[in-house]
Structure 1
Amino acid sequence: MRRNRIPVQLVWAVVVICVLPSLLNLLGVDFGSPSQTFDVLVSNITKDKVIDVMHHTLSGSFTHTILEWSAFCTAIFTVILSLIHFYLKADVVTPIIGIALFSSGCMDAFHTLAADRLIQGVADNQNLIPFTWAICRLFNALILLGGAGFFLIAQPVRWKRGISLVVLSSLVFGVIAFWVVSICARSATLPKTIFPNSIVTRPWDIAPLLLFIFAGFVVFPRFYNKYPSLFSHALIISVIPEVATQLHMAFGSKELFDNHFNIAHFLKIIAYLVPFIGLILDYIRTYREEADTAKELKQAMGVFNSILSESR
C-alpha cells in the first residue's frame, strides 16, 4: 500500500503552497488586482492613453481569465493522460477523474467565456462571475463524489476497457456544463452571492466546501483503500487545495478580483494539477518496472545461454 502513496515531500509542497498566500498576506502582500475606474467623459486624452487606461481598468478581468484558463488547460491535459492511462491499463480510477476534470474544466472555460462576454449574455458580471463560480464548484464536488461513490458500489470488472463510455459521458457532461453557464449568462437577474459585511462573505461556496471535506475524509480514503494507486491517492491530496480554495472564497472574498478571489483561483489550478502529477508518477513507476523487468529478463537469458553453451 505504501508504494501507492504520493511522496511525502510532494504532499508537504502542496500544503506549503496552500498556506503560503495567507502567510504572505500577514506580511502585507496583497494579491488583489488593482481597481481603476475608466472615465469615458475625460476630454483631451489620446487614443493610446485610452487604450492604456482601459487595460489597467480590465487588469482584474485579465488575471481572472489567465487563472481560469490555466485551470482549464490543466484539466484537459489530465483528461488526455487519464484516458490514455485507462486505455492502456484498464484502471478503473482514471475514468472518474477523467470525466470529473473534463466536466469541471468545461464549466471553468464556459464560465470564463461568459465573464469575458465571448458567450452572449445579459447578466451583469458582478453577479454572473460569483454565481457561475459557485455553480462550477458545486458541480465539480458532486461529480467527483458521484463518480467515486459509484465505483465503490459497482463491480469494476464489467467497466474495464469501456473507453467509449468514458468519452461519451465526458461529452454529455460537457454539453450540460455549456447549457448551465449559457442559461446563467442569458438570465437578466441572478441571485446575490456576495455579502461583504458578513462573516460568511459567499454563502453559496459553503456547500462545495462541505462536500470537499466529506470527500476528503470519507469517500476518497475508502476509494483509495479499495483501488490503491498513485492516482487515487493523489485524489485525496487534491482535496487540500480544494478546501483551501473554498475557504478563501467563502470567508474571505468580498468583491471580484480581490486578494482572496485571486488566491482561490490560483489554488484551484493546484487542485487540478495534483491528480495530473499522480498520473505522471504512475507512468514513471510503470516505465521503471518495465525497464527492471527487461533487465532481469536479459540477465536470465544470459544465464540460460551460458548454461546451454556449457552443456554442449
Structure 2
Amino acid sequence: MLLDRKYHIPDKFIWIISGVCLTPLLLNIFGIDFGFIQGTIDPYLATEFTQVEKSKGIREILNGRYVHLIFVSVSIVIAFLTALLALVDYKINKEISTPIVGTALLCSGLFETFHLLVSTNLIRLEEQNYFFTSYTWFFSRVFHAGILILGSGLFLMINKSRHESVAKQYKRSIFSIALLFILITFCLIAFLIYKQQEAAFAYPFRNTAKSFDLLPLLMYIFLAAVMLPRFYSRYPSTFSKTLLLSTIPAIAGQLYMTFGSVELYDNSFNISHFMMAVAFFIPFTGLVLNYIETHKNEKNIITLLHQEFKERKEAENILSGVLTSSLSAILALEPVKNVSGNAEDFIIKISNPSTLRIFNLSSQELNNKFLFTEIPALKEENWKEHLIFVLNTGENKTLEYYSSNFKKWLYVIIVPLMNGLAVTISDISKRKNALQQLMNAEKIAVGGRIARMIAHEVRNPLTNINLSVDQIKSEYPKSPEELHQYLNIIERNSTRINQLISELLLSSKPSQLNFQKYVFNKIVAEAIDLSMDRAKLKNVQIEYFEDAPNQIILVDREKIKLAILNLLINAIEAVEVGKGKIIIKSILNTSELLLVIEDNGPGISEEVMEHLYEPFNTDKAKGVGLGLTAVQNTVTAHGGEIRVESSPGTGTRFYITLPIETRETNTTELD
C-alpha cells in the first residue's frame, strides 16, 4: 500500500484530509448551500442577464471585479500561508517575534477576506455594497499597516538585554496574543458592519480619492522609515528584512489609490490590490528563504556533527586501544560527596583490563561502581586521603610504595580531571626487584673485592701461625699439657678463621652452576628431609603444598637444594619451640615457578630488613651472616628473584621465583 512505504505520513494529517473532504457534506446536511441557486433558472432571465452582461459599462465593471477577485484571493491565500509558515519557523528557530508578526498578517488576511465577501455581495448589507467595497478597502489598508505597527512595536518595547527572559515569558502567551489580534480584527469588522451607513458619506456614488486616503500611505511610510528598520536591527533575519521590503509595494499601492484611482475596479484600483498581494508575498518568500536557510544550516550542522562523531569515534577507538593495551591500570574517578560536601567514596567511570590484573580482581565490570567497595584494600592503604588531597588542591600527586595487600610495588599518579580524578597505577615490582638485585650485585662485588683482599692479607700470616704451631708440636712432643692446650686453642681458632675466609670468598663470587633437568618438588622434598632433624628437636610442624608435582625445571640441584635448606633452617631457628609452624607452597605460573616459605615466628624488624642480604648481617649468637647472601647469589645466578615480607609479630614469608626455560646445554632429565 502507498501508506506502507518508507516515507511515513502522520496519522493526524490523514484524518485532517478526511475531515476536510467530509466538511461540505456535513454543512449541506445542516442547510448551508454553497451554490446560492435554488432550482432551475428561467431561460428568459438567463438570456436577459447575458444581454445586460454584454453592455459596455456592466462588462467593464464585471471584468474589473474578476481581476480584483483574483488579486484579493491571492493576498488572502498568501496571508494564511505566511501565518502557517511563521508558526513552523517558530517551531524550528524559537524566535518569538515571527509568530506574532505572522498572526498580524493573518489578521490582515481576515480583513481582506471581509473586503472580498463585501465586494462579491456574499455579505448582504442594507446599504449598497458598491460603495461599501471602497470603504472596506480603505480600512483593510489601514488595518494592515496598523496591525504591523502593533506587532513590531510590541517587540521594540522589550529591552534587548532582557529579550531571552522576556521571550520565555511570552512563549506561554503566544496563543493569547494571537487571540487578541484576531479579536481586534473581528471587532473592527463588526463595527464597520454596524456603521455601514458611514460608507455612503465617505464614498458617495464613486470611488473618488479622498484626503483621508493619505492615512494608510503615511502609516506605511512610518513603517518603512521608523518601525521596521528598528525591528530588523533588533531581530535580524531573512523574514524581518523581507517584511521591511514589503513596505515598498505597499507604499506604491497607496500612491496608486491616493493619486490614480477614480472609479471602483479601475486600473489604479486593481493595481493597488496587485501591489497588496505582492506586499503579502514578500514576507512569505522571506519565511520560505528562512526555512531553506535553516534547512541548509541544519544539513551543514548534521554534516559537521557526523564528521565530529566520526572523529570522536576514531579518538574513542584509539583511546580504547590505549586503555586496553596499557600495562598500567587507568581509572577515571568521580567523587561521591555527603551532605557536608566531603568526598566519601569515588565512582569508577572508566577502567581498563590492567586494573583487574594489578589489583588481583576476578573478571568483572568495574565501571559505575564504588572504588572502595570493589577494592577495599585501597582504603586501608590511605588512598582516600591522597585522592581527596588532589581533589581539593588541584595539584598532581605521585606515590611509590609496596602494597602488602597486593604483594606488589605500585607507582601511582593522581591528577585532577574536570570534576573528578584520573589515576594511573603501574606495577613496578620487577623494576624494583631488578634494582634491588643490581644493588645486591654491586654489594657482592664490593664485598668480593674486600674479601679477596682480606683473604690475601690474613691467610698469609694465618698460614705462618699454623705452621709455627705444627713446628712446636713436632719439636716438643713431650711439652707440658698446658702448652699443648694453648696450642690446640690457637690451631682451632686459626682453622675457624680460615673457614670463615673460605665462606666469605664463596659468598662474594658468582656461583658456578651445573644445570640439569630435575623434578622441582623432589628437590624441595629433599631439602625438607635434611631439615627434619632440627624440626623434630624443636617440635616444629612443616607442611608442603604442591601445585605441580611433576614439573621439571632446569637448575643446579645441589645449589638450589642448599638455598632452600638455608631458608628452612632459618625458619626453624626463628619459631618458638613446640608452637612453630612452617608452610611451604610451590605454585606453577605461566613461565615460572614460585616457592613460598612461610613461618609463624616473631618476624623481622625494619632495620634488619634493610640489610637482610648483606654479608655478616645476623642476629644469631653463633651465626656468621652469610647464609642469605649465598641464597640470593644462587637464586640470582638461576635468573630468578627472591623477596621477603615480614614485620614484627606477623611471621616471615620468603618468595623465590625461578624461570621455566630450556637452556642451550647438553642436559639429561634426572630425578
Q: CA deviation at 1:134?
A: 1.1
CA RMSD of aligned residues (A): 2.7
The structure with higher relative contact order (CA 8 Å, sep 6+) is 1
What does 1:81-120 correspond to in 2, within 5 Å?
A: 81-120=85-124
Q: Which runs of 5+ in 2 are unaligned?
A: 1-42, 322-671
Q: Which residue number in structure 2 is paired with residue 121 of structure 1?
A: 125
| Cα distance in 1, alignment partners of residues 51 and 167 from structure 2 | 55
Q: Greater strand percent: which structure?
A: 2
Bigger Rg, structure 1 or 2: 2
- The answer to whether the aligner puts 1:192 opposite 2:196 as a matched pair is no
Q: Distance in 2 between matches of 1:66 and 1:197?
A: 20
Paired position in structure 2 for 1:231: 239
TM-score scaled by length of structure 2: 0.37
Output the CA distance in 2 between the equivalents of 1:60 and 1:189: 24
Aligned pair partner of 1:68 in 59, 72, 88: 72
Aligned-partner Cα distance in 1 for 2:190–2:317: 74
1:196 deviation in Å? 7.9
Alpha-carbon distance change, 111 to 283 in structure 1, aligned in 2, over 3 angstroms? same
How many residue pairs were aligned? 267
Who is 1:181 aligned against? Answer: 189
CA deviations on 1:133-172 (whole Å, 9 max, x unpaired) are: 1111111111211221221112433234746633333334
Distance in 2 of aligned mates of 1:51 and 1:161 = 61
| 1:54 match | 53
Contact 1:128 1:184 in 2 (8 A): no
Greater Cα offset, 96-105 or 157-166: 157-166
The 1:132/1:159 distance shift into structure 2, 3 A limit, reads same
Q: Quote the offset at 1:79 in angstroms.
A: 0.4
Relative to structure 1, the CA distance from residue 188 to residue 152 in structure 2 (aligned partners, 3 Å threshold; closer, same or farther) is closer
Classify the secondary structure of the residue corresponding to 1:167.
helix
Q: Matches of 1:149 and 1:172 in 2, distance apart?
A: 15
Q: Which residue of 2 aligns with 1:8?
A: none
| Contact persistence 2:224–2:247 (CA under 8 A) | yes
Q: Which segments of structure 1 move beyond 6 Å, counting only runs of 4 or more?
A: 194-198
Alignment of 1:191-210 (within 5 A): 191-193=201-203, 201-210=209-218
- The alpha-carbon deviation at position 205 of structure 1 amounts to 2.1
- C-alpha displacement at 1:52, in angstroms? 6.8
**Inter-partner Cα distance in structure 1 for 2:207 and 2:263:** 11
The one of 255, 277, 281 equivalent to 2:263 is: 255
TM-fit CA distance, 1:269: 0.6
- Corresponding letter in the other structure for 2:197: A
Question: Does the 8 Å CA contact 1:202/1:249 hold for their aligned counterparts?
Answer: no
Give distance in 2, aligned partners of 1:161 and 1:294.
Answer: 30
TM-score (norm 1): 0.76
Cross-structure match for 2:223:
215
Provide the secondary structure at the position in 2 that maps to 1:58. helix
1:275 to 283, 297, 312: 283
Mapped to 1, the partners of 2:86 and 2:169 lie a distance apart of 13
Offset of residue 48 of structure 1 = 4.5
Distance 2:240 2:301 in 1: 25
**What letter matches 2:298 in structure 1?**
E
Cα pair 2:100 2:177 within 8 Å, conserved: no
1:27 alignment partner in structure 2: none
Contact preservation (8 Å) 1:100, 1:143: yes
**2:380 counterpart residue number:** none
CA distance in 2, matches of 1:54, 1:171: 43
Question: 1:90, 1:160 within 8 Å by CA — same for their partners in 2?
Answer: no
Matched, 1:149 2:153: yes
Q: CA deviation at 1:50?
A: 2.6
Deviations along 1:188-217, one digit per CA (max 9) or x if unpaired, are: 34232489898xx33232111111111111
Provide closer, same or farther for how the CA distance between residues 188 and 219 of structure 1 changes in structure 2, counting only shifts above 3 A: closer
* Aligned mates of 2:169, 2:86 — CA distance in 1: 13
Q: Give me the whole-angstrom Cα distance separating, in 1, the residues matched to 2:127 and 2:298.
A: 55
Which position in structure 2 is the counterpart of 1:285?
293
1:192 partner amino acid:
A
**1:59: Cα distance to partner?**
2.6
Partner of 1:299: 307
Match 1:242 to one of 226, 236, 250: 250
Which structure shows the bigger proportion of residues in helix conformation? 1
| Residues 14-44 of structure 1 deviation map (CA, whole Å, 9 limit, x = unaligned) | xxxxxxxxxxxxxxxxxxxxxxxxxxxxxx9
Contact kept? 1:97, 1:144, Cα under 8 Å: yes
Quote the Cα distance in structure 1 between the aligned partners of 2:296 and 2:204: 50
Contact 1:115 / 1:125 at 8 angstroms: preserved in 2?
yes
Change (3 A) 1:169 1:307: closer
Q: Which consecutive unaligned segments of at least 5 residues does structure 1 have? A: 1-43
- The answer to whether the 8 A contact 1:121-1:182 is kept is no
Structure 1 position 136 matched with structure 2 position 135: no
1:197–1:104: structure 2 CA closer, same or farther, 3 Å change rule?
Answer: closer
